[in-house]
Amino acid sequence: GNSVTQMEGPVTLSEEAFLTINCTYTATGYPSLFWYVQYPGEGLQLLLKATKADDKGSNKGFEATYRKETTSFHLEKGSVQVSDSAVYFCALSSVTGNQFYFGTGTSLTVIP
């Protein structure tokens, strides 16, 4: 079946530190992969996505590369800011697009 496993939090970093949030997946076929972000008091927002192997999604300084060989889609950012404090969810869509599977979320707190 399809599933997503992501790094457990919470994660606390100092401003300008390097961020990695690990995400691995199990899927039938070739799913699309996503990172969603939920800022405090707000709804889920799409951060970035990749639809095929070796694609790199990027947005707001965040990047993630679809690695089929390691079934991973790790989220990275070179220099985090306080405003990046949020909960980050890794997700995949089934090949048909009928179902989405989310990880449990990783809470990030960036301190000045």
Partner 1 sequence: GAGVSQSPRYKVAKRGQDVALRCDPISGHVSLFWYQQALGQGPEFLTYFQNEAQLDKSGLPSDRFFAERPEGSVSTLKIQRTQQEDSAVYLCASSLEVASSSQYFGPGTRLTVL
Binding site for partner 1 (CB under 8 A): 4, 32, 34, 36, 42-46, 49, 51, 89, 91, 93, 95-105
- Residues 35 and 47 sit within 8 Å (Cβ to Cβ): yes
CA distance 82 to 110: 5
C-beta of 64: minimal distance to partner 1 in Å? 14
C-beta of 52: minimal distance to partner 1 in Å? 9
Candidates 54, 57, 55; CA nearest to 46 is 57
Tell me which DSSP letter residue 112 carries.
-
Closer residue to partner 1 in complex, CB, 10/61:
10
Closer residue to partner 1 in complex, CB, 28/112:
28
Closer residue to partner 1 in complex, CB, 29/112:
29
Location of structure tokens 């192997």: 53
